[in-house]
């Protein structure tokens, strides 16, 4: 059984269904609106999920990194298009047998539900980022997110281009460049190559990437407002 499916319950059975493919940079995995006949799993590289406006502006909803599954839809078609953000290796799992497997295995079904839940919460974070944060804060929060997801200590790899990052953060590629150069000059990190970041001052980066506050006080007055 391949390493990249070990994390999932029923990984062995899923692996038996999967086929592999190498995609060149920019290759399309599926278009927006295309029939959703397969799940996909990133084995190596990176995939971007995006949508376009009618006049060609692009919004990258999400980046998928090795270990991430995408293309699991409740509907009949894919809601977003998916392309390789760099040369990548993907596993394709046919939808029907995979769904049958999930129905038979409650643990797998539960894992997939958790995955959807996490993706939804992640979507809320991106909404907050786009609605509230400045360019510097968006870039910093993106880098913190990438650092957490790649989990490689103080090194962050950026498998996608500046344009992709810009479309993800609602900024121009030039603004992404300038902002990163500025953070770099400020000592937050070093940048030996455009796609390699060495974090020097994680605290400074996290301070810029203002996370939301999570008030946890129980709402004591709440019940008084309701009739029995």
CB of 190 to a second copy, least distance (A): 27
Phi-psi region of 219 (alpha: psi -120 to 50; beta: other; left: phi over 0): beta
The residue among 170 and 186 lying less far from a second copy, judged by its C-beta, is: 170
Considering only residues 146 through 175, tell me which ones interact with DNA, judged by CB under 7 A.
Answer: 161-163, 170-175
Q: Find out whether 159 and 85 touch, Cβ atoms under 8 Å.
A: yes
The residue among 109 and 128 lying less far from DNA, judged by its C-beta, is: 128
From CA 11, how far away is CA 152, in angstroms rounded? 25
Q: Find out whether 40 and 83 touch, Cβ atoms under 8 Å.
A: no
Of 107, 181, 198, 207, the residue at the interface with DNA (CB under 7 A) is 181
What is the rounded end-to-end Cα distance, in angstroms, of the chain? 56
Q: CA 21: distance to chain centroid?
A: 20
CB of 128 to DNA, least distance (A): 15
Binding site for a second copy (CB under 8 A): 19-21, 23, 27-35, 51-55, 57-61, 74-75, 79-81, 92, 113-114, 117, 120-121, 123-124, 126-128, 130-133, 167-170, 210-219, 222, 225-228
From CA 113, how far away is CA 48, in angstroms rounded? 21
- What is the residue whose two structure tokens read 């786009």? 130
Question: CB atoms < 10 A from the CB of 62, how many?
Answer: 17
152 binds, among a second copy, DNA, none (CB under 5 to 8 A by kind): none
The residue among 155 and 212 lying less far from a second copy, judged by its C-beta, is: 212
CB of 198 to a second copy, least distance (A): 26
Which residues here bind DNA, judged by CB under 7 A? 134-136, 161-163, 170-178, 180-181, 191, 193-195
């Amino acid at each position: 059984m391949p390493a990249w499916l070990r994390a999932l319950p029923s990984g062995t059975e899923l692996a038996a269904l999967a086929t592999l493919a190498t995609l060149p940079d920019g290759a399309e995995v599926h278009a927006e609106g295309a029939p959703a006949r397969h799940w996909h799993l990133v084995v190596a590289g990176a995939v971007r999920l995006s949508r376009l406006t009618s006049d060609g502006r692009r919004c990258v909803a999400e980046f998928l990194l090795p270990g991430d599954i995408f293309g699991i839809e409740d509907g009949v078609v894919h809601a977003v298009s998916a392309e390789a953000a760099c040369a990548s290796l993907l596993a394709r799992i046919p939808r029907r047998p995979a769904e049958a497997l999930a129905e038979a295995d409650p643990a797998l079904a539960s894992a997939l539900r958790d995955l959807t839940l996490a993706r939804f919460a992640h979507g809320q974070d991106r909404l907050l980022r786009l609605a509230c944060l400045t360019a510097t804060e968006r870039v910093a929060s993106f880098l913190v997110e990438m650092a957490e997801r790649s989990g490689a200590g103080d090194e962050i790899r950026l498998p996608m281009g500046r344009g992709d990052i810009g479309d993800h953060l609602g900024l121009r590629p030039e603004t992404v460049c300038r902002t990163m150069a500025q953070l770099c000059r400020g000592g937050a990190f070093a940048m030996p190559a455009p796609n390699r970041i060495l974090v020097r001052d994680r605290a400074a980066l996290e301070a810029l990437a203002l996370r939301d506050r999570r008030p946890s006080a129980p709402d004591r007055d709440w019940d008084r407002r309701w009739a029995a």
